[in-house]
A and B are shown apart, each in its own frame.
Chain A
Amino acid sequence: MADAEKGFEPKIIAFCCNWCSYAGADLAGSMRLKYPPNVLPIRVMCSGRISPHFILKAFQKGADGVLVTGCHYGDCHYIKGNYITKRRVTVMKDLLKFVGIDPRRLKSEWIAGSEGDKFARVATEFTEEIRALGPSPLRG
């Protein structure tokens, strides 16, 4: 058990919106900022495009954590996508908790295109948080 945990590398799916957070992730790369390779970004056009079903599918397929990122409030390219995302993620967290999946495995963050450093920081912190939580109970 202890050995298994030592060798545990979390798998984290990060959904990034095209206009802000993916640009933020890109900037983190351009700035040569280091963040853990455990975070696998998936680009979507808007955080509002992230259907709750995508989050569930990520967990079903063995993701240890899911990071949902989008533009800051008021910055959404489609005006209101991130407001809906926030609402959905909140209800989703409660549902996950209700069925016994730690809601800390799902996180939403707002990252602007100019915040490469924030993307790297969030990715690092979240990876550490998930590492501390251990493997997802759904990981087969």
Chain B
Amino acid sequence: MDKLKNHVKELLESGEIAGFLGLIDDGGHPVPYLFTKEHLDRLDAMVVPDFRYPMTDILLRIVRKYPEETIGVMVRGCDDRALVELAKNQRIFPELVRPVGIACTKEMAEACRCSQPYPREIHYGEKVEGVNDRSDLAAVESKPLDERLDYWMGQFSKCIKCYGCRNICSMCFCDQCTLEDETLIMTGQSPPEIPIFHLIRAFHMAGRCIDCGLCEEACPAHIPLRSLYRKVREDMADYFGYVTGMDESEKDPLEFLGSEGYEVPSKIDET
């Protein structure tokens, strides 16, 4: 921990970064905080708790306000994948963001069923292997079609349309949201139209979702949203060999045509 604090301190003191977005202990509650050179003493209260905040989401707000400053940010594996995607989508300049990597513990990795619980560069914690668990998908796929629909409609009908899943999502950075577009979806009423409300978001997550699972944690109705997004994520990997959050130079095969050219991968060309 001291090593981490010193690293951040050095970055701030040398002027390499103008601010560092981390978490601070505020009366026993870890909350996001922007550490600056002027208040280096605050670094003493910096903490790395065993739960998560949507750090990149907060980072985007800071970046919008200070577009020319270099900002440091505490990232876990999921946040780091988000940074890659944000750079791809031109939401941040990667050269103006200095990630400080935290490797998650084994317990956290298992609780999150995280496939990659470590960032590209680790400054704190020990790297542990990821968990590859698709039991949630297999459980749905073992049902016949009509039971699946009953299951999902039952889940979706619990929705109170709080937009929690969208608001916490690191990948939901659009200025205009389809979920509020009255030509596509009924707006101004709750509960939402199902299943379209959830499926629009699910499809939007194809080639986008970094599988952090914050949506499911945020959902007050406990809708297993993550399974939906994991499904499309798996599809993108199966059909196009595209995994989000890995390589900044790779393009989303649904939005761009990729570096391979125009061909549709032979795997999907059966019509």
Contact = CB atoms under 8 A, between A and B. Distances in A.
Contacts of A92: 203
A136 to B, nearest CB: 10
Interface in B169-217: 178, 184-185, 193, 195-196, 199-200, 202-203, 206
Contact of A100 (B148, B264, B269): B148
A94 B206 CA distance: 11
Chain B contact patch, size range: 35 or more
Nearest to B146: A100
A14 to B, nearest CB: 15
A80 B262 contact: yes
Contacts of B264: 73, 83, 86-87
B268 A100 contact: no
Interface stretch (B48-56, B115-123, B231-239): B231-239
Contact of A95 (B141, B149, B232): B232
A114 interface: no
Given A60-B193, A80-B262, A86-B264, A97 B145 contact: yes
Given A53-B178, A56-B203, A90-B268, 6 more contacts: A53-B184, A57-B185, A80-B257, A94-B235, A95-B203, A98-B140
B228 A99 contact: yes
Interface in A82-112: 83-84, 86-88, 90-92, 94-95, 97-102, 107-109
Nearest to A137: B149
A138 interface: yes
Interface in A59-88: 59-60, 73, 80, 83-84, 86-88
A37 interface: no
Task: Kindly name the residue among A52, A73, A97, A107 whose own CB sees the greatest number of chain B CB atoms within 10 A.
Answer: A52
A100 B152 contact: yes
B253 interface: yes
Contacts of A101: 145, 149
Interface of B: 137, 140-141, 143, 145-152, 178, 184-185, 193, 195-196, 199-200, 202-203, 206, 228, 231-232, 235-236, 239-240, 253-255, 257, 262-264, 268-269, 271
Contacts of A54: 184
Contacts of B206: 91, 95
21 contacts: A54-B184, A57-B185, A73-B264, A80-B262, A86-B269, A87-B239, A87-B264, A87-B268, A91-B235, A91-B239, A92-B203, A94-B235, A95-B202, A95-B235, A99-B148, A99-B152, A100-B146, A102-B145, A109-B271, A137-B146, A137-B149
A102 to B, nearest CB: 6
B149 A53 contact: no
Contacts of A99: 148-149, 152, 195, 199, 228
A28 to B, nearest CB: 20
Interface centre among A56, A60, A98, by most chain B C-beta atoms within 10 angstroms, is A98
Interface string A103-137: 00001110000000000000000000000000001
Nearest to A76: B262
B199 A95 contact: yes
